[in-house]
Structure 1
Amino acid sequence: MEHSSLAGRIFRGAALTLILLFFMFPIVWIFLMSFQTNEQILRIPPRILFEPTLSNYEALISGQLRTAAGNLQISFMRNLFNSVVLSSAAVLLALLLGVPAAYAFARFKFKLGETIAFTLLSFRFAPPLLVLLPLSLYYQELGLNDTYFGIVWVYQLIALPLILWIVRGYFEDISPDIEHAYRLAGHSWREAFTHIAVPLAGPGIAAAGLLSFIFCWNNFVFALILASADKQPVTVGALAFVTASGIQYGQIAAAIVLSVTPTLLLALYAQRYLVEGLSLGAVKG
């Protein structure tokens, strides 16, 4: 039995290692490409050992994209800053609107409540091109076209339904008896919401906020149509790397590393909140 158990552990360890290598290999390869020139990247056969260079990152930071036809001005760092501002503001707005709405849908039953909730969820599944034409017309009338607020507001189509439905499930898992006991002590429903419900659903709110941030960060179509170059996020700004004189693979790899780093760091920081979400089952009624 001991030999079979040891063999099983070795097999599972080997299988997990192979799976990890399979999924991590593209990420590692992109990271290595970011320190290579185009000549090194296109070399056949490719080499693992090479002389690293920081020229790709220097080009991104300085805004000088080196091509065969000469230097090309890009604004990658500006696009990266735009992504941070737009995604963060969109998620904060969605949390301010979505968390109270999720609590209302979880705790109170009212006419057409489920219909309204499903309608909000349907916005998440609607193709962006379905709403872009009327939105662009409305934005021109309202003066919101090519503005940060306009992009943040349209990002609510991505973030708000996600936060509403995820956080609603966490609120439903919390026993209302805890809030009733708190209110019997003389506290208002608003205090019960802010001091009891929100802290208990904190891991769910963090998870929903993280997922919303990633989806907003990765959005391409909304900012491409509704924003000019100085307000576009990094997903749209990446188009500058495909030029008439060729594709700058090393600088594209460096741009991928820089654009993925903020969401990766956020995910690593928020993972402790995701683990805490396992304890919500202890308060189910």
Structure 2
Amino acid sequence: MALSRIFRALAVALVLVFFLFPIFWILLMSFQTNEEILRLPPSLAFRPTLANYTALISGHLQTAAGLLDITFLHNLWNSVLLSSASVLLALLLGVPAAYAFARFRFRLGEDIAFTMLSFRFAPPLLVLLPLALYFQDLGLNDTYIGLIWIYQLICLPLILWIVRGYFEDASPDIEYAYRVDGHSWWRAFTRIAIPLAGPGIAAAGLLAFIFAWNNFVFALILASADKQPVTVGALAFVTASGIQYGQIAAAIVLSILPTLALALYAQRWLVEGLSLGAVKG
């Protein structure tokens, strides 16, 4: 028994090291200069510096070619705005749609749902060219509204299909009993169905936020530097004088903090939502 516990502890430790070591190394890089990062062989002994974080916060990056202005904090704000607004809109549209697909049977219902899901699997490059042309005609190119709209290709199918499963797992008899008491369909939906699927909705919303936050291609093509999120803004650290690895590492650390904080805050709902319905009686 003791030997099995030792092996189990070693296995867990190896898994943690495998997954957490890249994050640990990025964190160390964010406190090093480019010379320390590129030296061979690499070493854990170095003098920590906050210059990388100072450059990101101040917006001024000192390179061999001179002083470079960067807009990292503005890009970070763009990521928060685009991801939050996209997920909120996807929840407003996706949760009622998921309920309709779960509770009602209508012609071509499954085909419509599968078509929505296919948007999530389609390569972004497949739709970028026609979308860019349409956005120019509609005046949505290089706008927050246009990016939030196009982010629905990421968020809406994910929320629709995940939340639909939780509505299907919840028994409709509770809603019928509530409506027999004289309550409307809308009150049954908001007071009974949504609370029952609440953990699943929270899990779907968190996953959609992470996918929207990590998106790169749509904002790269359809937005200018003023509207681009942090994933695209990181390209500013690839300069003519070289790649600023320290600033890139610091930008990675700062950019994962919002999603990490959100995941830690919602971890109870995330675990409950992802495990809901895993065992059916």
TM-score range, shorter chain: over 0.9
For residue 212 of structure 2, what is the amino acid of its counterpart?
C
Instruction: State the secondary structure of the residue aligned to 2:226.
Output: helix
Unaligned runs of 5+ in 1: none
**Aligned partners of 2:151, 2:144: CA distance in 1, in Å?**
11
Aligned residues: 281
**Aligned partners of 2:196, 2:279: CA distance in 1, in Å?**
9
Q: Is the 8 A contact 1:38 1:248 kept in 2?
A: yes
1:166 aligns with 2:162: yes
Runs of 4+ aligned structure 1 residues displaced above 4 Å come to: 278-285
**Aligned partners of 2:186, 2:253: CA distance in 1, in Å?**
43
1:73 aligns with 2:80: no
Instruction: Select 2:151's aligned residue among 146, 149, 155.
Output: 155
1:268 aligns with 2:272: no
1:245 aligns with 2:241: yes
Using the TM superposition, give the Cα deviation of residue 45 of structure 1 relative to its aligned residue in structure 2, in angstroms. Answer: 2.2
- How well do the aligned residues superpose, as a CA RMSD in angstroms? 1.5
Matches within 5 A, 1:57-206: 57-206=53-202
Instruction: Select 1:215's aligned residue among 211, 218, 236.
Output: 211
- Residue 9 of structure 1 corresponds to 5
**Aligned partners of 2:8, 2:278: CA distance in 1, in Å?**
31
Q: Is the 8 A contact 1:167 1:204 kept in 2?
A: yes
For residue 233 of structure 2, what is the amino acid of its counterpart?
G
Using the TM superposition, give the Cα deviation of residue 41 of structure 1 relative to its aligned residue in structure 2, in angstroms. Answer: 1.1
**Aligned partners of 1:74, 1:164: CA distance in 2, in Å?**
38
Q: TM-score, normalised to structure 1's length? A: 0.95
Instruction: Select 1:44's aligned residue among 40, 46, 56.
Output: 40
For residue 86 of structure 2, what is the amino acid of its counterpart?
A
For residue 182 of structure 1, what is the amino acid of its counterpart?
Y
Distance change in 2, residues 1:279/1:39 (3 Å)? closer
Q: TM-score, normalised to structure 2's length? A: 0.97
**Aligned partners of 1:279, 1:240: CA distance in 2, in Å?**
41
Q: Is the 8 A contact 1:174 1:283 kept in 2?
A: no
For residue 253 of structure 2, what is the amino acid of its counterpart?
V
For residue 138 of structure 1, what is the amino acid of its counterpart?
Y
Instruction: Select 1:230's aligned residue among 212, 219, 226.
Output: 226
For residue 89 of structure 2, what is the amino acid of its counterpart?
L
**Aligned partners of 2:169, 2:16: CA distance in 1, in Å?**
33
